[in-house]
A and B are shown apart, each in its own frame.
Chain A
Amino acid sequence: MPDQTAVMVMTTESDTTADLVVEELNERSVPVFRFDTAHFPTDVTLTAQLEDGWRGSVRFGEREIELARAGSAYYRRPSEFVMQGSMSGAARRFAAAQSRAGLLGVLVSLDCLWVNHPGRNGDASYKPWQLTVAEQVGLRPPRTLITNGPEAARRFVKEIDGPVIYKTLAGGVVDDDGVPKGMPTSIVDPDGLDDSIALCAHQFQEWVDKHHEVRLTVVGDEFFAAEIHAGNDAAHVDWRNDYAALTYEIVDVPDDVRRGVVELMCRFGLVFGALDFVVTPAGEWRFLEINPNGQWGWIQTVTGLPISTALAGLLQGGSTT
């Protein structure tokens, strides 16, 4: 990447995880252009003209980036586009759709490295797709049923002949009539498998006996793996239930798992991923999921793993190799 290229960072101002990367880039004197899509179009101005690729710039306040100078883009936690309140609801919806298609359409077509390309993030966010690929590359996901058929769910639970969990297929937070609520992985009560299963798609999995879990953060070709040990029953089912009960240890990734992860990342076109594994009492790694835009700041904080350094290097280099 030529010296004069810059790194675009798309996220909220309150994203202190992105701060870790921006600070690294600042220390390396790498030009950074950080903005949030929520500021478009009110405070962010796009001018792009098609001339053998898009030529023009994005301006935010006193900063401006020439599109041709974008060497890489970190698509971290950009928020929804915000339209002017003086427009009608219909006008705001129209304007938001046009803004999204225009701004993101131009940016994703730039010849630069995306961490990750939002389209690839979108693909990899489909958990059934993840599980298919994980199975194909030998990462041994749990036996899984996705259904809206109550009878199929009851049959699956019977076949498993052991604990079964329910976990969501999409989204970590649910708006419950205005109250945002989380939905952790939960143990299924076989007697509770009623006809409400018919109301949407549901995901059921065999409970994989676990000694501990691993959060594996992949940045380009660098692997950062941390064992997560749960200190109580709730955290044992889903470690998000109680972060205070967790302890961590840095761990090496077995070669076969590493090969599978590389293949999975390659198939989805990802250069970053936060993967969750169960490690059984026998030491076998079982794939649970990949979060293509997953969190990593707390792992760095508690383990010292230099994830932000790796991300800054990846973005600065503009290449995964």
Chain B
Amino acid sequence: MSDHDLMNESAEALLQPYGMRFLQAPRRAAQGRPDGVHYSSELQLTVGADGNPWKTDAMASETSTNNDGNQSGEDTNTDPW
């Protein structure tokens, strides 16, 4: 590969489709979970320190993590299908 080719390849690598100009960095990080919150393999859901279902972040997981790459906050996701 010639220097000319390398320069062209380098220049092409900098090209971005029009739509990418609208990308936004994460606004805020995903919220951490309180101490004691863990997944219960018995109940097959997340529970609090007291062992009861912990569901308060069903909202947070879908709304506070947008743009930070946490796919739980997205309507579309990487699908193994």
Contact = CB atoms under 8 A, between A and B. Distances in A.
A173 B67 contact: yes
A17 B61 contact: yes
Contacts of B44: 9, 22, 26, 32, 34
Contacts of A179: 25, 69
Contacts of B17: 196-197, 199-200, 202
A300 B17 CA distance: 37
Interface residues of B, number: 43
Interface residues of A, number: 66
Given A19-B45, A22-B45, A180-B68, A295 B53 contact: no
A183 B39 contact: no
A104 B80 CA distance: 9
Interface string B57-81: 1110111101111011111111111
Interface string A27-45: 0000010100100000000
Given A9-B44, A80-B80, A182-B23, A173 B71 contact: yes
Contacts of A193: 18
B67 A182 contact: yes
A147 to B, nearest CB: 10
Contacts, number: 165
A194 interface: yes
Given A100-B80, A166-B18, A293-B79, 7 more contacts: A16-B45, A19-B54, A172-B77, A173-B69, A199-B18, A298-B59, A300-B58
Given A23-B45, A79-B80, A298-B58, A182 B16 contact: no
A122 B81 contact: yes
A260 B33 CA distance: 41
B15 A182 contact: no
A125 B76 contact: yes
A37 B19 contact: no
A17 B58 contact: yes
18 contacts: A15-B72, A16-B58, A78-B80, A118-B79, A166-B22, A172-B71, A172-B77, A173-B67, A173-B69, A176-B20, A180-B68, A181-B23, A182-B67, A243-B64, A295-B62, A295-B74, A297-B58, A300-B58
B26 interface: yes
Contacts of B43: 22-23, 26
Interface in A170-188: 170-176, 179-184, 186
B8 interface: no
Given A14-B72, A240-B66, A196 B16 contact: yes
A22 B79 CA distance: 21
Contacts of B74: 172-173, 295
Q: Which of A12, A37, A184, A301: most chain B Cβ within 10 A? A: A301
Interface of A: 9, 12-20, 22-23, 26, 32, 34, 37, 61-62, 77-81, 100, 104, 118-119, 121-122, 125, 166, 168, 170-176, 179-184, 186, 192-194, 196-197, 199-200, 202, 240, 243, 274, 291, 293-295, 297-298, 300-302
Query: A interface, by DSSP: helix, strand, loop or mixed?
Result: mixed
B18 A202 contact: yes
A45 B61 CA distance: 30
Contact of A181 (B24, B59, B76): B24
Contact of A16 (B22, B25, B61): B61
Nearest to A21: B45
Contact of A61 (B41, B45, B78): B41
A38 B41 CA distance: 16
Contact of B59 (A14, A119, A302): A302
Contacts of A291: 75-76
